[in-house]
Structure 1
Amino acid sequence: MYPGPATEEGERVLIETLVADAFGTNCYVLSAGPGSECVVVDPGIGIAPRLDDLLADRGLKPVAVVLTHGHLDHTFSVAPVCGANDVPAYIHTDDAHLLADPSQGFSANMMSLLGTGLDWTEPDDVQPLADGGVIELAGMRFTVDHAPGHTAGSAMFHTADADAAYTVTGDVLFRGAIGRTDLPGGSDAAMQDTLRRKVLPLDDATVVLPGHGPGTTIAAERARNPYLKRAAAGGH
């Protein structure tokens, strides 16, 4: 559980993390505290029951599901979570097709890991996001930063308060690593451009909330992440 960004009135909020049953995908719940509205980010495999428990325990009401990209390990529970709470799903336009057919984002071998009985339903209400857009949800303001490379429609979400800046990076940036670029829609060249133009300019103190693994900061990744170092040096 992280201290998080402020509401529009300046109150601190909390960022809580649930780790999915497969692939170690992080699902984040951002709220102003017990009894408030919240935003759910990247509800992955097996998340729904534990998310329901968390929401009930905290008295939270989701107002939206926000997706960093369209890969199934981040979107597996999006339809049940949206349906149970009657809320929209937000995703960048370039990955919206993956909510209709998630098999387009994975190789056949990776899809086979999920078994043959996938019963997929697209959320009823899908809201497209564009680069530089600002969405206000549950009293918080998020800036959308299109960050292709892992997928064509990968996006990061920036928010901040008086004390800290936070970036939900999805599979763009991890502690010591980045997301793979060899899946359908991935591009190493696009990832390098994203790292140079979108990640490196972030302030060192920015807290990174990645799609997998522990949180980190831009300063820590600038110092030790070989992929970020490669991008800083202009490598290809």
Structure 2
Amino acid sequence: MLTISFPAQAFGTNCYVLADGPGEECLVVDPGIGIEETLREVLTQHRLKPAAVLLTHGHVDHVYSVTPVCGGELAAYIHSEDRYRLENPLSGSSLGPQLTGMLEQQFGKQVTWREPERVVEITDSEVVSVAGLDLEVVHAPGHTEGSVMFALAGVPEGVPAEAEVDRTLITGDVLFAGSIGRTDLPGGSSEAMERSLQRVVHPRPDSSLVLPGHGPATTLAREKATNPYLQGLS
């Protein structure tokens, strides 16, 4: 599986491009702020054609470039409980005053939003089959109401065998290397996050490669052993 990741210009959000291989259709996951030029370079270098955009949740740092990427033709996939956020993820009620202020300070008040034309609402345990890839939707609320992870068989090309992973879990802002997503923003819930960690995240196979929404990749085995938020769960 061809997997390319690169950070957005703001908040260090990881954007992922997934494909069966060069010259194929691809999926774009979480196109954040200022990723358009880098994405074009990646698509050109590997001769890829976007088939859809997948969103782990509706925060602006993960969805800001979804409309330019979709271009009015491609569909954006998002969990039904976060669908409302695509109406205007820049609003204070969606993002919170602190992050809204940070965004305005960095990019100015000229930041605008246009809702994508085609939106597909996804639900827990649904399998999204696009671009020759099958991704299981894993609903894990807590960071937002509609936060999801995407699980798929196989791992990116180049992952060393000693990593002992045979599947991939794109976790968005549910799980990071050594930490988890914050729960104090509008729509967040520490109680929901705790349930998701215990009932959804921890039961996933240890052999999962974790591709988070921010920061470096990790493995679920490593997180179960070292992440303080997963300690004591069973």
TM-score between both structures, scaled by the size of structure 1? 0.90
Pick one of 36, 41, 48 that aligns with 1:53. 41
Matched residues in 1 for 2:177 and 2:94: separation? 23
Retained in 1: the 8 A contact 2:96–2:185? yes
Q: Which residue of 2 aligns with 1:113?
A: 102
What RMSD over aligned residues (CA atoms) do the two structures have, in Å? Answer: 1.3
Amino acid corresponding to residue 95 of structure 1 in structure 2: D
Q: Which residue identity lines up with residue 44 of structure 2 in the other structure?
A: A
SS state at 2:197 partner: helix
Report how far residue 105 of structure 1 moved: 2.3
* Aligned residue type for 2:144: T
Report the alpha carbon displacement of residue 109 of structure 1 after superposing the two structures with TM: 2.2
2:93 counterpart of 1:91: no
SS at match of 1:226: coil
Identity of aligned residues (%): 52
Aligned positions of 1:22-41 closer than 5 A: 22-41=10-29
CA displacement at 1:58 relative to structure 2: 1.1
Matches within 5 A, 1:1-236: 13-83=1-71, 86-102=73-89, 103=91, 104-115=93-104, 116-161=109-154, 164-230=166-232, 232=233
The TM-score, its normalising length taken from structure 2, stands at 0.91
* Contact 2:177–2:218, Cα closer than 8 Å, also in 1: yes
Measure how far apart 1:33 and its partner are.
Answer: 1.7
Deviating beyond 2 angstroms after TM superposition, the runs of 4 or more aligned structure 1 residues are none
State the aligned residue count.
219
Q: SS where residue 51 of structure 1 aligns?
A: helix
Unaligned runs of 5+ in 2: 156-164
Residues 44-75 of structure 1, C-alpha deviations (whole Å, 9 max, x = no match): 11101110111011110010000000000000
**Which whole-Å CA distance do the structure 2 matches of 1:196 and 1:187 have between them?**
14
Deviations 1:57-111 (A, max 9, x none): 1110010000000000000100100117x21100000001111011232111211
What do residues 125-179 of structure 1 show as CA deviations (whole Å, max 9, x unaligned)? Answer: 0000011111101101011011100000000111013971111000000000000
Distance 1:68 1:161 in 2: 19
How far is 1:20 from its partner?
Answer: 0.5
Amino acid at match of 2:6: L
Q: Is the 8 A contact 2:183 2:190 kept in 1?
A: yes
Q: Which runs of 5+ in 1 are unaligned?
A: 1-12
Distance 1:40 1:170 in 2: 13
